[in-house]
Amino acid sequence: MGNQISDAEIESILDKFDTDNQSIGKGLVVGKQAPDFTLQDHAGNAVKLSDGYRNGPTLLVFFPSSFSSTSMDQICNYRDAIESFKKLRTHIYAISPNSAEYHTELVKENDIPFSFLTDKGNRVATAFGGSALSMRGQISRGVYVINTRGTILHAHTEPVMLTHQNTDKLIALITSLRDHKLL
């Protein structure tokens, strides 16, 4: 899965950004209502967030505009763990500013079993606090867990573009939220 950056290294990076008075963007606050939105998926269908989370918890995954090896690792990890997500009744929506045509090709080539949504202009990413720009001018990679009432229960924004949240830890988190009847 490539080189992983330790928590201490990430904290050091965050401290440096704070020292330099640059904003990384932490995303929306846990416990707040998720902003509702409607975006087009890779098949051309309109997908409304509130329609999805009413049927089970939702995992929103924001990606930068170019699908790097880190993004593909993350996408394929979710694909490979799809049965675990299904057992938890969790819907996954991957969101990026790439076109529906690009997403369709990506889904076909990689046998992806969840929806990719097109966020032209990063409107939804910005609403979720992903407007912080990386050194390359792209949105930050972010993950949100939303319960069936639309409340954000987990928000994670990557401080650097080379990392993504561990899939096993994410599944363990969703399992714990379910076990505590928070989903």
pLDDT per residue over 10-56, tens digit each?
455 444 433 333 333 455 678 889 999 999 999 999 999 999 899 99
Q: Show the domain range for 84.
A: 26-179
Residue 38 lies in a domain: yes
- For residue 7, pLDDT over 60 is answered with no
How many other CB atoms sit within 10 Å of the CB of residue 95?
Answer: 27
Residue 145 lies in a domain: yes
Residue 64 lies in a domain: yes
Residue bearing the bigger pLDDT, 169 or 17 = 169
Residue 14 lies in a domain: no
| CATH number of the domain enclosing 89 | 3.40.30.10
Residue 81 lies in a domain: yes
**pLDDT value, residue 56:** 92
Residue bearing the bigger pLDDT, 23 or 171 = 171
Residue 20 lies in a domain: no
Report how many domains make up the chain. 1
CA distances from 1 to 10, 73, 175 (A): 18, 7, 23
Residue 21 lies in a domain: no
pTM: 0.78
**pLDDT value, residue 127:** 86
Residue 9 lies in a domain: no
In the chain, the amino acid numbered 119 is D
- 90/31 Cα distance (integer angstroms): 18
Torsion of CA 73, 77, 79, 84, to 10 degrees: -170
